[in-house]
Amino acid sequence: MAGRNFLLVPGPTNTPDRILRAMHVAMEDHRSSDFPSLATPVLEDLKKIFKTTKGQAYIFPSSGTGAWEASLSNTLSPGDRVLAARFGQFSYLWIDMAQRLGLKVDILETEWGEGAPIERLHEALAADRAHEIKAVLFTHNETATGVTSDVGGMRKALDDARHPALLMVDGVSSIGSIDFRMDEWGVDCAVTGSQKGLMLPAGLGIVAVSPKAAALYESAKLPRCYFDFADMRKANATGYFPYTPALSLLYGLRESLAMIFEEGLENIFARHHRLAEGARAAVKGWGLQLCAKEPRWYSDTVSAVMVPAGVNAAEVIDIAYRRYNLALGAGLARMSGKLFRIGHLGDLNELMLLGGLAGAEMAMRDAGIKVTPGSGVAAAEESWRGTAKPLPKRDLPPRAPDAQPAAPAAKEKATAGAAR
């Protein structure tokens, strides 16, 4: 098929050419004396993405799910109580993992489309006077519903309750795209994956660990082997890994971090917010609603768009893919068929997102949804036109000096004759 596939799912995201080129490397010995020159700076630079100077980052060859498991198994013991709100598919899955690992989960059921219920979480912590709750599992950005919750508010709830529970945060679809402050918010385990804001293929599960969480390693009794912090810490201290690392992805991660630092984290957060505002304007222009029920919960990385009753969102998604080469995210679990998701994170700009919005418009019309042609695209355009800033001027290489004028023809002939 001619042209490019428009990838607008909320992960995996578009991988820039720079990163693809960086990953195109020959395999090498990951035990060589040169290898630490790759691994050590990457591990140190990762801490800047989490905004931590106190924590330690670990990279596992896995998805973000592996980093979930690492955060639990290295800090908790069988039968420990943890507290979590369930308000989307990914908060559901983390709870399910905790239960399958042998933890007791106090679940606060919350309507999908709402954020984490900070007040109810605070009440549960305040009522736990014996401090039996050992950790709070907190989903920063619920990718299934396009909802972002207040991590800083959760830290305040813990502090107000004077509760010592660990604060564990799933930041898979937020870290590197939405403001995240590990040290300031007192986060003890922060989890992300390579395929979202870091703009890489899936394959790296990353967790940043506070000194408080690290200190619980010796007392934690949940089984662990592959995801053992101690093995990682010992090997990482010398610039190595306890088993074969995902070498190509590490080279890609190094380039990803370079790109992030070049743009600047705060600029990246602002870009994501601006793009999201345009996407939200498009949804309003279509006359549709987001799954997120209030603006305070709107996500800057994914918009979950509710379709009208009687329409199957899966049909919209299939038409977009089959007819227009556009990948949209599906509704998950109880939201299956009720919504489609537009991912607007990672390596993305206005025109790329406009292409996706235009494709979504066509697919919705083809599926029978009464959307005015161009309504969403026009609304997004106006949103961005009003906030556009000129691109910085590029530093071009110095111009090469002009070539010396050619010798007159007569002189050339004379020279040629003499040479003979």
Report the CATH number that the domain containing residue 170 is assigned in CATH: 3.40.640.10
Q: Are 364 and 339 in contact (CB under 8 A)?
A: no
Report the CATH number that the domain containing residue 361 is assigned in CATH: 3.90.1150.10
Mean pLDDT for the chain overall: 94
In a domain, 416, yes or no: no
DSSP H or E run through 351: helix 350-366
Looking up tokens 């969102």 gives 313
321-371: pLDDT as tens digits: 999 999 999 999 999 999 999 999 999 999 999 999 999 999 999 999 999
Q: Residue 412 has what pLDDT? A: 44
Same domain, 197 and 230: yes
Q: Are 10 and 196 in contact (CB under 8 A)?
A: yes
Same domain, 84 and 140: yes
In a domain, 366, yes or no: yes
Same domain, 60 and 139: yes
In a domain, 393, yes or no: no
Distance CA 65, CA 76 (A): 17
Distance CA 362, CA 112 (A): 28
Distance CA 71, CA 139 (A): 13
Confidence of residue 213 (pLDDT cuts 50, 70, 90): very high
Same domain, 243 and 334: no
Give the burial string for 199-234 (b: 16+ CB within 10 Å, else e).
Answer: bbbebbbbbbbbebbbebeeebebebeebbbebbee
Number of H helices, E strands in the chain: 14, 14
Q: Are 193 and 63 in contact (CB under 8 A)?
A: yes
Confidence of residue 391 (pLDDT cuts 50, 70, 90): confident
Could you give the residue ranges of the DSSP H alpha helices within 188-264? 211-214, 229-236, 247-263
Per-residue pLDDT, averaged over 58-75, amounts to 97
In a domain, 406, yes or no: no
In a domain, 8, yes or no: no
Q: Which domain holds residue 175?
A: 17-262
Does the pLDDT value for residue 415 go beyond 80? no
Same domain, 136 and 71: yes
Which residues contact residue 166 at a Cβ distance below 8 angstroms, ignoring those fewer than 6 apart? Answer: 75, 134, 135, 136, 188, 189, 212, 213, 216
In a domain, 10, yes or no: no
Task: Return the ∠ at Cα 75 (arms to 46 and 164), rounded to 5°.
Answer: 95
Looking up tokens 């905004």 gives 51
Does the pLDDT value for residue 410 go beyond 70? no
Same domain, 100 and 129: yes
Same domain, 244 and 287: no
In a domain, 282, yes or no: yes
Does the pLDDT value for residue 397 go beyond 70? no
In a domain, 392, yes or no: no
Give the CB-side neighbour count of residue 92, counting CA atoms within 13 A.
13
